[in-house]
Chains A and B, each alone.
Chain A
Amino acid sequence: MDKFAALVLVILLLPLAGAVLISFAGPYLPRVAAAVIANGTLLVAFLMTGIVALTGWQATSSGQTIPQHFAYGTWALIPPLKISFGLLIDPLALTWMLIITGVGFLIHLYSVGYMASDRNYRTFFAYMNLFVFTMLLLVMSDNFLWLLVGWGGVGLASYLLIGFYYDRVSAVLAARKALIMNVIGDVGIMIAIFLIYAHLGSAAYSDVFARVASVGAPALTAIGLWLLLGAVAKSAQLPLHTWLPDAMEGPTPVSALIHAATMVTAGVYLIARCYPIYDHAPVAAEVVAVVGATSALFAATIGCVQYDIKRVLAYSTMSQIGYMMFAVGAGAYTAGAFHFLTHAFFKALLFMAAGIVIQNLGGEQDIRKMGGLAGKMPLAFWTFLIGTVAIAGVPPFAGFFSKDAVIDAAIALHHPVLGAFLIIAAFLTAFYMFRLLFLTFFSGAYRGDGAPHDHPMVSMNVPVVVLAILATVGGFLAAPLGAALRLTFVGALHDQDIATINWPVAAGAFLLVVAGIATAYALYQVRPQLRESLIRALAGPRQLVMNAYYLDTVYHWLVEVPAYAIADAAAGFFETFIIRAIPLAASATAAALGGFARAWESGQLRRYGLTIAVGVVLLLAWYVITAYAAASQGVLPQ
């Protein structure tokens, strides 16, 4: 193993080491030490990732090639099946790694302050480090099997962290819901891996992608659709998105890291990683694009009427991931990755700014009980404002460039309907984000019953400011990112250049964004009466959207009720007469045998004697009878 391979492995293992150390040291570890370990491992991992990325950048720009693939070992379980452990560190993986470790570090730092008064402080950092490890494994793996290990691992970490406040029933239920929905996706990925193995004979990316051209489109379409099931569950797209809003039960840093910046984009990563499969399976790719664009619009409409600050952000996450999914489904992989990058900046920023507000209001999340906070919490306000204009797509903030890249791709790749969805979603995004901003920070005086105060904590403010800067300038990463990702998406059929901006489209989209902002301004700042009459006029549709189109209710009747009915029936019949009957029969048999044996153990000496005598007589009789029988056939007994 050369030095570079060891360095890359250390990046992966550092967060795991942190998680193990914090878990095993338990209460013997001071709280400060847990925070230092968790933050330190991530900072070092980030710096090392940065070194790897810069080394790669320098080498490629000077015309050299550097190894991207590092093999560490292979074990043959059943002879034809070989599972290797290797890492693939290409520009795509590095993009994700930089966000996971970089934004992950900032969110860890933020958590030092945000979780300061929590009694499970160490557990929190252990879980967070575990999450970073599994997420890194997911993006660094060089084959589908280890990807699945990471995929399941992030699901576990997400489950643990959503249910972190385990004394709240709603949090436990939300965690369970997230786990169940993610397991549906895991099964999809497993089936995809089985199909890949059956058709392509390997699970390593390099083998699989080299052989896709030799496999028919139907098989690849099936693989692509099963992979999409996994991506849809993990990335909270239609129709498996309902866990994401509930996942906001977790602590705010968790929402920022897992349910905004990194884990929920794993589906986008998966499809971008499997671009050769989707390039050869246009039907599957089209389904990805449809799911993405529909989710983007669907979630944006729900975001317009929610009153929980974190739920609005959750729906906006789903909507923004819809953009990414559309991009990778349409074939514009670089645009999808670019939107992932900027989204990680501004969405983590929005969550963390919202976290400051929530903490300063003593845990209040309902925006109806906020308002007028701009002057009271200047830092939270300004950073939230930057995040809002970035996500809405106001130039020159990050979201403008990446969203424009996605919409450009929709037009260049001839997706008129889906492109229209995205453009409407862009309008709605601007509307609901500014609605959120106005309701939280303006719209008259403070409406809650708490005592708003600004309680600045360095460990919380620093990451927020850093992310605010990144959300401001992140859009200018388009050129280097596009140049780097060109090395990954070699031969991709429809990939689009993200560095050039289609100005007419951008201008049109920007006008819609301005319209969205203006609408929000009109309804929430200038004319609240108009808003009231609008709410009255559209009461029915509003009710529908507020309840997220009743999908939870549909799932309740479609899945939960039948499942409980089956379970009840099973409890009544199967449990009583089959499951319980088997141990009951076993115990009854044992008791009968024991009673029989016990009867012989009377302790009566004379009965023992009689038993022996009868036995002897029987044996003798048997011997005599057989001897006679043998003698009658002319054979003498021995």
Chain B
Amino acid sequence: MPQVPLADYLILATVLFVIGLVGFLVRRNPITMLMAIELMWNAGNLVFAAFARNFGDMTGQVFVFIVITVAAAEAAISLAIVVMVFRHREDVDVDDISVMRG
């Protein structure tokens, strides 16, 4: 079975990361922004996994699991905040949410 070269993984990860970054910067809906963040997380995960496989060292895969766990927690908190903001303001445009109070 032919090996997929390391460079391909890294290119894919870079593409995913940039898509996530641009998505985070250009979208104003927090749900979409959270999805973009998720993309960036996973670009990082992919790099971890690719290097782990390349060097035959499982530490990278352990990190992937940790990142997934943390990402899940982050998503839960973020979504909760989004729901609260929506309830409070009936609107979730991040450009309007610029102050802590109110």
Residues of B within 8 A of A609 (CB): 21, 24-25
Question: Is B98 within 8 A of A604, CB to CB?
Answer: yes
* Residue B31, interface by CB 8 Å: no
* Residue B95, interface by CB 8 Å: yes
Residues of B within 8 A of A606 (CB): 24-25, 28, 94-95
Chain A min CB distance to B28 (Å): 7
Interface residues of B in 34-88 (CB under 8 A from A): none
**Contact of A602 with B94 at beta-carbon distance under 8 Å, contacts A610-B25, A613-B21, A613-B25 already known:** no
Chain A min CB distance to B83 (Å): 17
- At the interface, is chain B mostly helix, strand, loop or mixed? loop
Residues of B within 8 A of A76 (CB): none
The chain A residue with its CB closest to the CB of B24 is: A609
Chain B min CB distance to A614 (Å): 10
Cβ contacts B14-30/A at 8 Å (1 or 0 each): 00000001001100100
Residues of A within 8 A of B33 (CB): 605
Residues of A within 8 A of B28 (CB): 606
- At the interface, is chain A mostly helix, strand, loop or mixed? helix
Q: How far is the CA of A606 from the CA of B25 in the complex (A)?
A: 5
Question: Is B98 within 8 A of A603, CB to CB?
Answer: yes
Question: Is B97 within 8 A of A605, CB to CB?
Answer: yes
Q: How far is the CA of A606 from the CA of B93 in the complex (A)?
A: 11
The chain A residue with its CB closest to the CB of B99 is: A603
The chain A residue with its CB closest to the CB of B95 is: A604
Q: How far is the CA of A602 from the CA of B21 in the complex (A)?
A: 20
Q: How far is the CA of A605 from the CA of B28 in the complex (A)?
A: 9
Chain A min CB distance to B59 (Å): 19
The chain B residue with its CB closest to the CB of A601 is: B98
Residues of B within 8 A of A610 (CB): 25
Q: How far is the CA of A605 from the CA of B36 in the complex (A)?
A: 14
Q: How far is the CA of A610 from the CA of B24 in the complex (A)?
A: 9
Given A605-B97, A606-B94, 14 more A-B residue pairs with CB atoms under 8 Å apart are A602-B98, A603-B99, A603-B100, A604-B94, A604-B95, A604-B98, A605-B33, A605-B94, A605-B95, A606-B95, A609-B24, A609-B25, A613-B21, A613-B25
The 5 closest A-B pairs by CB, nearest first: A603-B98, A605-B94, A609-B24, A609-B25, A603-B99
10 examples of A-B residue contacts, CB within 8 angstroms:
A603-B97, A603-B98, A603-B100, A604-B98, A605-B98, A606-B25, A606-B28, A609-B21, A610-B25, A613-B25
